[in-house]
């Protein structure tokens, strides 16, 4: 079920029709219930964080939105945005490619536009112009001719974001894009997501187990725990009373130097403290 | 030029036929070979070749076209491997299934070759099936090579973009609605076809060399998949033609002048080409720009 916020009804999304509406979604993997009645709405140009520890169901929710996982109950509705775009771009956490694979970054990006089509496709300036423009837009224009397998983690994330944008989606889903990135690279990717959302009106749903890097650009968040969710702004959701209700036991939220630290436990001396680096929720 | 080309090289019917068949097979193997290398399926390529030898053995025993035998058994092996592998299975799990099917087929091949050699007393068939000879590709086989190779090339072209996306990342492909199971099955079928063609050319045991070697060269020298395929085709065709020339010339070589097997030359040249390509260090990345692009934009 979707946990209710303590100050009333679930947080209403910003004005305008949502490009993504998830209502009462329940998913089982085998016999294990992973999501129970999860709901969220994502607006055009909005950046939403999908927060939760490892195993909380973030990837399952993304896979269900992509249509790769059949829900037990609930609906996922994708709508055309005001720019007439409707589609989902997807950015996995990482792709493992050998540096020996003869594939340039611009090849990867171009496949985002037409990789699902049969046939070799005819080489043309239009295809490469699209790829190069997208690489410029994500600050990776200088990597167009580089082999994808030789890119660093941050560079690969930018290339994958450009790949996702090549399909001209209304919604981009990112699965743990900040994992394995150092602080600087994570900040670059987060700023890029904010720019994409504001400049191109793309709705962005980004999963992460660490809320902190997303704070500068995140409009709202979905917090997943125990298969349930709560949605709202960071100030509304990341509070001890809200997360205590979501987890079903005591949660402390500490704020220091602009960072959020969530401590979950049973009030014992060995309570785990989670600041995004662990999986002990 | 006699010291370089033995008399009759360019007018010999078997040599010209071998050149045409060899080049056609080498070109057909190039795209599927590049994908096989990129997908880490070199073992599957080798296994399909040995599985195909069962069909070649059956053809020798029962007297039908070797290509049909190689092709039928390679496709059967590919089908069995696909059917037993879970959709999107990890390469290691696929290797287990491939290895199991491979072992079963080799056992059957051993039985068929034993029966053939004991009943017909022709030990040369064993050598022909396992190590092939371009010079003795029979009239019942070579007219089938060109259509089969053309079919493999067309299939490779049709599969090109979704297969490339699935090779890069199964997640990216699935997100773009590429059907991984179909893609994997189709690639396996094309691979089996090319392995059968290659087995007819240089024998079942050595066919992996023609499939994987030129593709490995292409992957090092090419900057894009089409360039890699072009390099692989050129390498495969070049090594095959040079192998035919050396094998023909070897009839003049001392001490006995009995001629060396063409498969030996082809495979040796492919390995040499791969060794040479290892000396080339591809430019992997563009030079870094100063500062960070996002920060530069203010």
Cβ <8 Å between B218 and A117? no
Encoded tokens for B29: 């193997």
Please calculate the CA angle A207-A210-A214 and round it to the nearest 5 degrees.
70
Q: Are residues A208 and A214 in contact, defined by beta-carbon separation less than 8 angstroms?
A: yes
- Alpha-carbon gap, residue B267 to B272, rounded angstroms: 9
Q: Is the dihedral of CA B232, B235, B238, B240 positive or negative?
A: negative
The residue among B28, B72, B78, B68 whose CA lies nearest residue B48 is B78
Cβ <8 Å between B175 and A90? yes
- The backbone region for B132, taken as left when phi is positive above 0, alpha when psi lies in -120 to 50, beta otherwise, is left
Residue A201 has a CB neighbour count (10 Å cut-off) of 17
DSSP H/E element including A47: strand A47-51
Burial track B4-39 (b if 16+ CB lie within 10 A, e otherwise): eebeebeebeebebbbebbbbbbbbbbbbbbbbbbb
Highest mean pLDDT among A172-176, A231-235, B87-91, B119-123: A172-176
pLDDT at B129: 66
Highest mean pLDDT among B24-28, B39-43, B60-64: B24-28
Q: Is B118 exposed, middle or buried (0-12, 13-18, 19+ CB in 10 A)?
A: exposed
- Alpha-carbon gap, residue A176 to A94, rounded angstroms: 9
Q: Are residues A207 and A58 in contact, defined by beta-carbon separation less than 8 angstroms?
A: yes
Burial track A254-272 (b if 16+ CB lie within 10 A, e otherwise): eeeeeebbbbbbeeeeeee
Q: Is the pLDDT of residue B297 over 80?
A: no
Encoded tokens for B5: 């080309």
Q: Report yes or no: B176 at the A interface, CB cutoff 8 Å.
A: yes
- Which of the pair, B91 or B199, is modelled with greater confidence? B199
- The backbone region for A85, taken as left when phi is positive above 0, alpha when psi lies in -120 to 50, beta otherwise, is beta
Distance from CA of B149 to the nearest CA of A (A): 18
Average pLDDT over residues B274-298: 61
- Alpha-carbon gap, residue B93 to A19, rounded angstroms: 40
- Which of the pair, B296 or A196, is modelled with greater confidence? A196
Q: Are residues A245 and A87 in contact, defined by beta-carbon separation less than 8 angstroms?
A: no
| pLDDT band, very low/low/confident/very high, at B123 (cuts 50, 70, 90) | low
Question: Pairing between strand A73-78 and A20-29?
Answer: antiparallel
Q: Report yes or no: B41 at the A interface, CB cutoff 8 Å.
A: no
A121: nearest CB among B161, B172, B294: B161
pLDDT at A137: 85
Q: Is A126 exposed, middle or buried (0-12, 13-18, 19+ CB in 10 A)?
A: exposed
pLDDT at B118: 78
Judged by DSSP in three states, A73 sits in: strand
- Alpha-carbon gap, residue B129 to B257, rounded angstroms: 24
pLDDT at B99: 86
- Alpha-carbon gap, residue B66 to B142, rounded angstroms: 10
Distance from CA of B229 to the nearest CA of A (A): 10
| pLDDT band, very low/low/confident/very high, at B132 (cuts 50, 70, 90) | low
Judged by DSSP in three states, A224 sits in: strand
Q: Is the pLDDT of residue B79 over 80?
A: yes
DSSP H/E element including B70: helix B66-84
The residue among A236, A207, A230, A202 whose CA lies nearest residue A43 is A202
Q: Report yes or no: B33 at the A interface, CB cutoff 8 Å.
A: no
Q: Are residues A71 and A63 in contact, defined by beta-carbon separation less than 8 angstroms?
A: no
Q: Are residues B66 and B52 in contact, defined by beta-carbon separation less than 8 angstroms?
A: no
pLDDT at B136: 67
Cβ <8 Å between A99 and B284? yes
Describe the strand order of the beta sheet including A273-274 as a list of residue ranges.
A251-256, A259-264, A273-274
Q: Which residues in A lie closer than 8 A to residue B218 (C-beta atoms)?
A: 102
Cβ <8 Å between A103 and B227? no
pTM for this model (two decimals): 0.82
Q: Which residues in A lie closer than 8 A to residue B174 (C-beta atoms)?
A: 66, 68
Q: Is the pLDDT of residue B121 over 50?
A: yes
Residue with structure tokens 């076809």? B193
Residue A71 has a CB neighbour count (10 Å cut-off) of 19
Query: Average pLDDT, whole number, for chain B?
Result: 83
Q: Are residues A46 and A14 in contact, defined by beta-carbon separation less than 8 angstroms?
A: yes
| pLDDT band, very low/low/confident/very high, at B193 (cuts 50, 70, 90) | very high
ipTM of the complex: 0.80
pLDDT at B231: 97
pLDDT tens-digit profile, chain A (281 residues): 444 333 333 444 556 688 999 999 999 998 899 999 999 999 999 999 998 888 889 999 999 998 888 999 999 999 888 887 888 999 988 888 777 789 999 999 999 999 999 998 877 788 889 999 999 888 889 999 999 988 888 888 889 999 999 988 999 999 988 887 788 888 888 888 888 888 888 999 999 888 888 888 889 989 888 888 889 888 888 888 888 877 777 888 888 777 778 777 655 444 444 443 333 33
The residue among A34, A35, A44, A39 whose CA lies nearest residue A11 is A39
pLDDT at A269: 42
Nearest 10 degrees: CA dihedral of B267, B271, B274, B278?
180
Chain centroid to CA A189: how far? 12
DSSP string, B34-75: HHHHHTT-HHHHHHHHHHHHHHHHHHHHHTS-HHHHHHHHHH
Q: Is the pLDDT of residue B227 over 90?
A: yes
């Amino acid at each position: 079920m979707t946990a209710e916020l303590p100050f009333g009804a679930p947080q209403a999304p910003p004005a305008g029709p949502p490009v993504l509406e998830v209502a009462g979604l329940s998913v089982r993997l085998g016999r294990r219930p992973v999501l129970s009645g999860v709901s969220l709405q994502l607006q055009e140009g909005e950046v939403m964080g999908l927060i939760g520890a490892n195993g909380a169901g973030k990837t399952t929710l993304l896979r269900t939105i992509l249509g790769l996982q059949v829900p037990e109950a609930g609906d996922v509705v994708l709508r055309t945005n005001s720019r007439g775009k409707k589609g989902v771009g997807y950015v996995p956490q990482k792709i493992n490619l050998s540096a020996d694979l003869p594939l340039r970054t611009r090849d990867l990006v171009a496949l985002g536009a037409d990789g699902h089509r049969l046939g070799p496709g005819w080489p043309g300036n239009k295809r490469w112009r699209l790829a190069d423009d997208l690489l410029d837009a994500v600050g990776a224009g200088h990597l167009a001719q580089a082999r994808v397998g030789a890119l660093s983690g941050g560079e690969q994330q930018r290339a994958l974001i450009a790949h996702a944008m090549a399909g001209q989606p209304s919604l981009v889903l990112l699965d743990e894009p900040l994992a394995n990135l150092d602080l600087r690279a994570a900040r670059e990717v987060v700023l890029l997501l904010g720019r994409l959302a504001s400049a191109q009106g793309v709705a962005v749903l980004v999963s992460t187990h660490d809320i902190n890097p997303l704070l500068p650009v995140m409009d709202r968040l979905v917090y997943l725990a125990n298969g349930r969710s709560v949605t709202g702004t960071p100030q509304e959701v990341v509070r001890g009373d809200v997360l205590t209700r979501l987890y079903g036991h005591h949660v402390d939220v500490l704020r220091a130097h602009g960072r959020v630290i969530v401590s979950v436990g049973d009030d014992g001396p060995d309570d785990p403290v989670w600041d995004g680096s662990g999986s002990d929720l | 030029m006699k010291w370089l080309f033995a008399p009759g090289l360019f007018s010999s019917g078997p040599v010209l036929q071998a050149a045409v068949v060899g080049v056609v097979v080498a070109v057909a193997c190039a795209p599927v070979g590049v994908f096989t290398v990129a997908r880490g399926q070199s073992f599957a390529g080798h296994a399909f070749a040995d599985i195909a030898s069962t069909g070649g053995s059956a053809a020798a025993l029962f007297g039908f076209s070797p290509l049909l035998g190689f092709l039928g058994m390679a496709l059967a092996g590919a089908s069995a491997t696909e059917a037993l592998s879970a959709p999107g299975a990890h390469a290691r799990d696929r290797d287990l299934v491939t290895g199991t099917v491979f072992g079963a087929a080799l056992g059957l091949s051993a039985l068929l070759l034993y029966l053939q050699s004991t009943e017909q007393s022709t030990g040369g068939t064993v050598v022909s099936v396992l190590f092939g000879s371009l010079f003795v590709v029979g009239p019942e086989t070579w007219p089938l090579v060109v259509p089969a190779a053309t079919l493999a090339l067309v299939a490779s072209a049709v599969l090109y973009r979704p297969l490339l996306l699935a090779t890069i990342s199964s997640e990216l492909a699935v997100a773009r609605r590429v059907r991984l199971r179909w893609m994997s099955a189709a690639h396996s079928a094309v691979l089996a076809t090319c392995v059968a063609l290659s087995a007819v050319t240089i024998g079942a045991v050595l066919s992996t060399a023609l499939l994987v070697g030129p593709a490995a060269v292409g992957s090092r020298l090419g900057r894009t998949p089409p360039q890699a395929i072009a390099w692989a085709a050129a390498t495969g065709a070049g090594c095959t033609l040079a192998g035919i020339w050396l094998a023909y010339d070897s009839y003049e070589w001392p001490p006995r002048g009995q001629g060396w097997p063409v498969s030996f030359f082809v495979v040796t040249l492919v390995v040499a080409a791969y060794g040479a390509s290892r000396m080339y260090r591809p430019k992997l990345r563009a030079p870094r720009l100063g500062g960070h692009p996002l920060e530069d934009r203010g």
